[in-house]
């Protein structure tokens, strides 16, 4: 029998003991989709902060959660890697289990607060949208990354969907390559800017909709693009799943976003909900949505940020 030097029975027992508790199972469920601070988790599970800290310590000692510092707070999320193969299967069963009604209600309250903050940000910063965005990554600095990735796709070029086109720069490239393009944004003001800019360029195959992705039900797209959108989304895993459901068979999802970083100021100044993403995190969410990572490309900004462009195909 082959043995794994990383495995030890005492460590395995610690891991299983940490998991074998109904409350901690629900905490692991919640941390599989998003990251939360101790205070938020105490609110979600209606318990004292000291009690929640104790449970998180137990989970961290068993390598079931990882932490990241964001400003003065520590945020927890479920570990992507664990030396014991069976843990991923247990995570999958935990994800299928129902959360208590109160937990769902409290979770919704926190997520709605985050969503409102993000929407308020875009409404408030319409006039200085470009300056705010340029603080982190100018569109021109990742434009060729996205265009090259799109042109590398060897598949149907019927319908494309861009979610969150902002001022609509990438719509120009999409409009040339795809027969029909749908632009979906939740910001009325930005959608108007994109519409005017495309009309001025006589791009007639683009439809603009002020709608949320949830409003579309049936698959129709050969390509879905999200450029610098996902880090503004409160529940990115659920968002990716919704996007995947709109793809035709063998369709593609292209995500351009920041690599994981620790620049907390981006939350206050740029309306970011997430401080970028680690590639394995995106890959794992995509996999659960039936998508396979097929291509990756990266570009480093002069200010230290890194942008990743990932192409996923529907399996
Ligand atoms: C940082 S901007 C990126 C704009 C553009 N894609 C680019 O690369 O320059 C984020 C865009 O996502 C939009 N957005 C945020 N949340 C969204 C959602 N739930 N559905 C659709 N668009 C959303 C914002 O209104 C904004 O247009």
Q: If you average pLDDT over residues 14-43, what whole number do you get?
A: 93
Q: What percent of the chain has pLDDT above 90?
A: 64
Q: Could you give the CA distance from residue 151 to residue 111 in angstroms, rounded to a whole number?
A: 36
Q: Is 137 in the pocket of ligand 1 (CB under 6 A)?
A: no
Give residue 63's region: left, alpha or beta (phi > 0; psi -120 to 50): left
Instruction: Output the pLDDT for position 6.
Output: 58
- Given a contact cutoff of 8 angstroms between Cβ atoms, the answer to whether 262 and 68 are in contact is yes
- Rounded CA-CA distance 54/94 in Å is 20
Token reading at 159: 């319908």
11 pLDDT band (50/70/90 cuts)? confident
| Dist. CA 33 → ligand 1 center (Å) | 20
Q: What is the pLDDT of residues 148-158, one digit of tens each?
A: 999 999 888 99
Using the CB atoms, write b or e for 86-121: b if 16+ within 10 Å. Answer: ebeebbeebeeeeeeeebeebbeebbeeebeebeeb
The CATH class that applies to domain 9-99 reads mainly alpha
Interatomic CA distance for residues 18 and 15, integer angstroms? 5
Each residue of 257-272: pLDDT tens digit? 999 988 888 887 888 8
Q: Count the alpha carbons within 13 Å of 97 in the hemisphere toward its beta carbon.
A: 19
* Residue 232 CB less than 6 A away from ligand 1: yes
Q: Where on the phi/psi map is residue 79: left (φ > 0), alpha (ψ -120 to 50), or beta?
A: beta
Q: For ligand 1, is residue 162 a contact (CB within 6 Å)?
A: no
Tell me the pLDDT tens digit for each residue of 182-193: 999 988 999 999
155 touches 199 (CB < 8 A): no
pLDDT of residue 221: 97
**Shortest-distance atom of ligand 1 to CA 146:** 8
Tokens standing for 290? 């039936």
Give me the percent of the chain exceeding a pLDDT of 70: 97
Rounded Cα–Cα distance for residues 25 and 287 (Å): 22
Winning range, highest mean pLDDT, from 51-60, 129-138, 255-264, 275-284: 51-60
CA dihedral 273, 275, 276, 281 (to 10 degrees): -90
Region 212-225 average pLDDT? 93
- The DSSP annotation for 223-287 comes to EEEEES-GGG-SSHHHHHHHHHHTEEEEEEEEEEEEBP---THHHHHH--SSS-B-HHHHHHHHH
Q: Does domain 129-314 have CATH number 3.40.50.150?
A: yes
Cβ(228) – ligand 1 distance below 6 Å: yes
Tell me, using a 6 A CB cutoff, whether residue 274 lines ligand 1: no
pTM higher than the cut 0.85: no
Are 166 and 192 within 8 A, CB to CB? no
Averaged confidence pLDDT in the chain: 90
| pLDDT of 4 over the 70 cut | no
Residue-wise pLDDT for 34-83, tens only, equals 889 999 999 999 999 999 999 999 999 999 998 877 667 788 989 877 66
Q: Residue 89 is encoded by which pair of tokens?
A: 């299967």
Q: Is the CB of 56 under 6 A from ligand 1?
A: no
- Report domain extents, the chain: 9-99, 129-314
Distance of CA 246 to the CA centre of its chain: 17
């Amino acid at each position: 029998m082959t043995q794994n030097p990383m495995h030890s029975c005492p460590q395995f027992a610690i891991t299983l003991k940490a998991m074998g508790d109904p409350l901690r199972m629900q905490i692991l469920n919640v941390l599989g989709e998003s990251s939360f601070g101790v205070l938020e988790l105490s609110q979600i599970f209606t318990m004292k902060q000291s009690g929640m800290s104790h449970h998180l310590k137990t989970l961290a000692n068993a390598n079931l959660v990882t932490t990241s510092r964001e400003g003065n707070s520590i945020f927890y999320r479920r570990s992507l890697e664990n030396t014991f193969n069976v843990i991923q299967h247990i995570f999958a069963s935990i994800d299928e289990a129902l959360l208590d009604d109160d937990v769902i209600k409290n979770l919704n309250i926190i997520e709605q607060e985050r969503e409102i903050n993000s929407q308020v940000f875009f409404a408030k910063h319409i006039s200085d949208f470009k300056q705010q965005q340029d603080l982190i990554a100018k569109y021109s600095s990742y434009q060729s990354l996205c265009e090259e990735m799109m042109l590398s796709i060897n598949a149907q070029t019927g319908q494309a969907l861009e979610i969150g086109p902002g001022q609509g720069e990438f719509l120009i490239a999409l409009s040339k390559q795809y027969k029909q393009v749908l632009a979906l944004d939740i910001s009325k003001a930005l959608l108007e800017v994109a519409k005017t800019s495309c009309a001025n360029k006589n791009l007639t195959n683009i439809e603009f909709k002020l709608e949320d992705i949830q409003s579309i039900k049936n698959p129709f797209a050969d390509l879905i693009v999200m450029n610098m959108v996902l880090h503004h989304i409160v529940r990115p895993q659920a968002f990716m799943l919704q996007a995947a459901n709109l793809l035709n068979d063998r369709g593609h999802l292209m995500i351009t976003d920041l690599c994981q970083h620790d620049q907390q100021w981006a939350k206050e100044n740029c309306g970011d909900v997430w401080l970028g993403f680690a590639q394995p995190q995106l890959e794992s969410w995509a996999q659960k949505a039936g998508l396979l990572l097929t291509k990756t490309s990266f570009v480093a900004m002069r200010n230290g940020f890194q942008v990743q462009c990932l192409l996923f195909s529907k399996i």
